[in-house]
Amino acid sequence: MPVTLIGQSVVNILLLSGVLTIVALGFSIVWGVMNIINLVHGAFIMVGAYVTYWLFVLAGVDPFLSIPISMAVLFAIGYVLQRSVINLVMRAPLLVTFLLTFGLEIIVINLALFFWKSDLRAVTTSYSGSSLSLFPDASGNGIEVPYVKLAVFVVAMVLTLLTHLVMTRTRMGRAIRATGMDKDAAQLTGVKIAQIYAVTFAIGAALAGAAGALIATSQSIQPGFGGSYTLRAFVIVVLGGLGSIPAVILGALVFAAAEVLTGLWQPGLIQAVTFGLLVIVLVVRPSGIAGKAFYQ
C-alpha cells in the first residue's frame, strides 16, 4: 500500500499543479508587465467557469470544446475593462490599482450572484468520474488517474506552451515583453503601450477564462469561488518569482506539493504550510525561487 500511496500522491501533485499553473499564469503576466496585482483575476476565473457551464447546459457543448469560447469572452471583457477603467490608473500608486481591482471583483461577483444565484453548479459529463487505474493489485486497488483531471492537466500545459510561444515568437509578444522591461524605451521604439496594456490584460483574462473552464469540469462552482484562487495565484507567483512562465510552473509545482503532502500528513495545517512557505520565500529570497525583475 505505501507504494500506491506515494504513487497516488505524485499523481495528485502533478494534476493539481497543472490547474494551478493555468490559474496563476495570467495573474503573473499582468503583474509582471503592467505592475498590477489584479484582484479581479478570481472573478474572471469564475466567469470563465460559468461560460462553460451555460454552454454545457444550454447548448450541450463539451466543456473542453468551450475553452476557446470562454477565452474569447474573457479576452473581450479584459480588453474593454482595461481600456475603459484600468487604463485610468496605469501610472497611479499600487494602492489605487489594488482598490480598483478589488472593487471590480466585488461588482463582478455580485452581478453573478444577481443573475445566477448562489446555487452550486457543476459540469457533469458522461465521462466525469471515470479513471485510469495504474498498477492495480489483486483487489483492483491501483493509482487512480481520473481522465477528466488528466485532460485538464494536458490542456493546461498546452495552453501554457502556447502562451510561451506567443510571448517569445510573435511581434505582439515581443512588444509586450519590451513594455514590461521598460515602457518608456518601448514607446520610443514605436510600441503603442496603451494598446499593449489592453492586450496584456486581455490575455491575462483569457487565461483566467481557460482556468475557469477547466476548474468547472472537476469541482462545483458558485459566484464566490474565485477569491481563494486569486490568493493562490498570488502565492504561486511569489513562490516561483515574477518574470517568466517556467517560474509560474515551478511555483505551482511547489505549491501543489506543499498542499498535497501536508494534506496527507496533517490536513488541518494545509494553509499554515502553504502560506508559511510564502513568508519564508519573501524573507529568504524576495524575488522568488526563479524570479527576475521583468517579464522575459
Partner 1 sequence: MRHFVVRPLAALAVLSLVLAACGSAAESTAPTVAPGGASPAPGATSAEPCTITFGAAVSITGKTAKEGGYVKDGYELFKEEINKAGGFKVGAQQCMIDIKYYDDTSDPDTSAQLVEKLVTEDKVNLLLGPYGTNPTFSASAIAEKYEIPMIEGGGAGLKIFDRGYKYIFGTLPAAPNYLRSVLDLVIQTDPSAKNVAILAQNDGFALEVAKGAADYAAEKGLNVVYNEQYPVDTQDVSSLITAVKSQNPDIILGAGHAADSILIMKGIKDQKVNAKAYAFSVGPTSPDFRTTLGTDADYVLGIGPWTEAMKFQGGDVFGTAQNFADMMRAKYGADTYPNVPYQSASAAAALYAYQKAIEAAGSIDPKAVRDALANLDLQSFYGQIKFLDSGIIVKPQGVVQLQPDGNTYTVYPADAANGQFLYPAPAWDAR
Q: Which of 50, 56, 105, 57 is nearest to 73 (CA)?
A: 50
CB nearer to partner 1: give 75 or 256: 256
| Residue 232 Cβ vs partner 1, minimum distance, rounded to whole Å | 8
Instruction: Detail the DSSP E strand segments found in 7-97.
Output: none
First-to-final CA distance of the chain? 44
Non-local CB neighbours of 55 within 8 Å, separated by 6+ positions? 61, 63, 66, 69
Least separation in angstroms between residue 76's CB and partner 1 is 26
Task: Report, in Å, the least distance between residue 64 CB and partner 1.
Answer: 17
Cell numbers for 158 = 498546452
> Which is nearest to 70 in space by CA: 165, 169, 155?
155
Of 63 and 223, CB closest to partner 1: 223
Give the Cβ contact number of residue 251 at 10 Å.
Answer: 30
DSSP state of 219: S
Residue 236 C-beta: closest distance to partner 1, Å: 12
Which is nearest to 69 in space by CA: 216, 245, 172?
216
Which one, 40 or 75, has the nearer CB to partner 1? 40
Q: How far is the CB of 202 from partner 1 (least distance, A)?
A: 21
Cβ proximity to partner 1: between 80 and 187 the closer is: 187
Residue 73 CB, shortest distance to partner 1, in Å, is: 23
- CA dist., res. 231 & res. 239, Å (int): 12
Q: Judged by CB, which is closer to partner 1: 75, or 291? A: 291
Neighbours of 68 (CB within 10 A): 13
Given the complex with partner 1, which of 53 and 75 has the nearer CB atom?
53
